[in-house]
């Protein structure tokens, strides 16, 4: 049977452009013992993919090789199997790539419970929820009554961070790039305040929204929100550095704030990436599933259709055009 896959054939200069990719038609392979064939149904698009396309060998994960199928996570169904642990009909999540079908021996795949919709998996139980849980709960040491600011709040990770923090009794302030996103954060997700960081007077709006200062800053973007929030940090505040998307498509990263405040306020600043924490996936997925079942977590997916929609669609992440977790339904 023929299927399509998309290979990375060129590295980005600054922006992700269609000429970086080549769509190829392949033939599904014959299975050996211990192998099975996956049909991918939903493919996740994430800002980190920009980094994976770059030649940087010093990063937390090796770059995608030129000529290789582009790396991504996704949800797939087993459609043929010679592996007892993965019978036909079982559903899995894992790194599957920009492809309609993939051969697997099961390495790195997690079998999904029956009945959980694919968008709930990619929004809550997979990378966004795990990242939010790891950063906030395992590293942020949150305490009820504290104030948390999260940037990129209407995005996949940010919306999970804010809702976990609300469930844990914190005051939650989010920043996002449109009034519609801010309205969703307050009215649908129950954030205490949401600020459009593109509107004038960001510093003033943040000060009004955080009358008791900021105890935890969950950083997804960098940019002006970083400076404004850094200046509002309380003594012994914690900053979790998850992402810096404002710097992903620029030739020169923006200047960070002066370190003086780190000493004055005895701040803890912690960067993290999820590949260091894959061993905790079952435990953290279970925690996220519990919030979901308790009605404490809502999610929204921004779904594109067809494998090749990924090529242009990934840029929605960098323009703010995605409203919810960006994914492709195949
Ligand atoms: N450390 C880890 O292991 C890990 C894991 C997952 C994700 N991340 C990071 O977490 C961050 C959020 O990822 P996500 O998957 O949740 O994406 P997302 O928030 O669903 O989508 C990206 C959003 O970033 C915002 N954005 C884009 N350019 C911006 C800019 N110049 N300044 C401020 N905001 C900008 C846009 O929202 P607005 O409309 O609000 O601008 C856009 O919708 C990214 O930095 C990502 O790299 C890190």
Residue 220 phi/psi, 5-degree rounding, is: -115, -15
How far is residue 288's CA from residue 45's CA, in Å, rounded to a whole number? 20
Which tens digit of pLDDT belongs to each residue from 173-199? 999 999 999 999 999 999 999 999 999
H-state helical runs in 271-323 = 281-293, 309-313, 316-319
What is residue 282's predicted lDDT score, i.e. its pLDDT? Answer: 86
Tokens of 200: 């004038």
**Nearest atom of ligand 1 to the alpha carbon of 326:** 20
Which residues does a 6 A CB cutoff place in the pocket of ligand 1?
Answer: 46-48, 127-128, 131, 152, 154-158, 176-178, 181, 220-221, 223, 242-246, 272-274, 317-318, 320, 322, 325
Q: Residue 58 has what pLDDT? A: 85
Predicted local confidence at residue 56, as pLDDT: 85
Locate the ligand 1 atom nearest the alpha carbon of residue 155 and give its number: 19
Mean pLDDT throughout 145-158?
A: 98
CB 63 within 8 A of CB 52: yes
95, two tokens: 């790194």
Ligand 1: residue of 15, 161, 245, 318 to mutate (most ligand atoms within 8 A of CB) is 245
Which residue puts its alpha carbon closest to atom 34 of ligand 1? Answer: 221
Atom of ligand 1 nearest to the CA of 325: 20
* Cα distance between residue 285 and residue 152, in whole Å: 22
CA atoms within 13 A on the CB side of 263: 3
pLDDT band at 115 (very low <50, low <70, confident <90, very high): confident
Residue 188 CA from chain centroid, whole number: 20
Q: What is the pTM of this model?
A: 0.96
Distance CA 319, CA 127 (A): 21
Any idea how long the chain is?
330
CA distance 257 to 235: 17
Closest ligand 1 atom to 175 CA: 40
What is the pLDDT confidence band of residue 251, given thresholds at 50, 70 and 90?
A: confident
Q: What is the whole-number distance in angstroms between the Cα of residue 109 and the centre of ligand 1?
A: 25
Ligand 1: centre distance to CA 242 (Å): 9
Mean pLDDT, rounded, for 225-253: 96
37: CB partners within 8 A, 6+ apart: 28, 29, 31, 78, 79, 80, 81, 101, 102, 103, 104
Going from the Cα of 272 to the center of ligand 1, the distance in angstroms, rounded, reads 15
22-72: pLDDT as tens digits? 999 999 999 999 999 999 999 999 999 999 999 988 888 899 999 999 999
Instruction: Give the other-Cβ count within 10 Å of 52's Cβ.
Output: 17
β-pairing, 301-305 vs 325-329, is parallel
Which band of pLDDT confidence, cut at 50, 70 and 90, is reported for residue 113? confident
């Amino acid at each position: 049977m023929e299927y399509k896959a998309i290979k990375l054939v060129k590295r980005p200069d600054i922006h992700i452009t269609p000429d970086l990719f080549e769509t190829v038609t392949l033939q599904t392979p014959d299975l050996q013992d211990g192998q099975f064939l996956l049909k991918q149904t939903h493919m996740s698009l994430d800002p980190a993919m920009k980094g994976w396309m770059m030649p940087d060998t010093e990063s937390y994960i090796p770059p995608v090789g030129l000529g290789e199928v582009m790396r991504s996570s996704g949800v797939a169904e087993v459609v043929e199997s010679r592996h007892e642990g993965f019978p036909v009909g079982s559903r899995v999540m894992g790194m599957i790539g920009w492809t309609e079908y993939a051969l697997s021996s099961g390495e790195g795949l997690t079998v999904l419970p029956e009945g959980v919709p694919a968008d709930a998996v990619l929004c809550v139980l997979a990378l966004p929820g795990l990242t939010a849980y790891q950063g906030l709960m395992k590293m942020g040491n949150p305490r009820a009554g504290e104030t948390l600011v999260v940037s990129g709040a209407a995005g996949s990770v940010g919306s999970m961070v804010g809702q976990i923090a609300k469930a844990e009794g914190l005051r939650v302030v989010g920043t996002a790039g449109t009034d519609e996103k801010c309205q969703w954060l307050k009215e649908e997700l129950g954030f205490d305040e949401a600020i459009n960081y593109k509107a004038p007077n960001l510093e003033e709006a943040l000060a009004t929204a955080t009358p008791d200062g900021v105890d935890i800053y969950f950083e997804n973007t960098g940019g002006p929100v970083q400076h404004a929030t850094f200046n509002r940090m309380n003594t012994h505040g914690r900053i979790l550095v998850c992402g810096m998307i404002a710097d992903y498509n620029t030739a020169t990263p923006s200047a960070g704030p002066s370190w003086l405040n780190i000493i004055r306020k005895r701040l803890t600043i912690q960067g993290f990436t999820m590949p260091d924490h894959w061993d905790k996936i079952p435990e953290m997925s279970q925690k996220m599933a519990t919030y979901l079942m308790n009605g404490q977590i809502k999610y929204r997916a921004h779904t594109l259709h067809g494998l090749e929609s990924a090529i242009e669609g990934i840029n929605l992440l960098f323009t703010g055009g995605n409203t919810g977790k960006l994914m492709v339904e195949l």
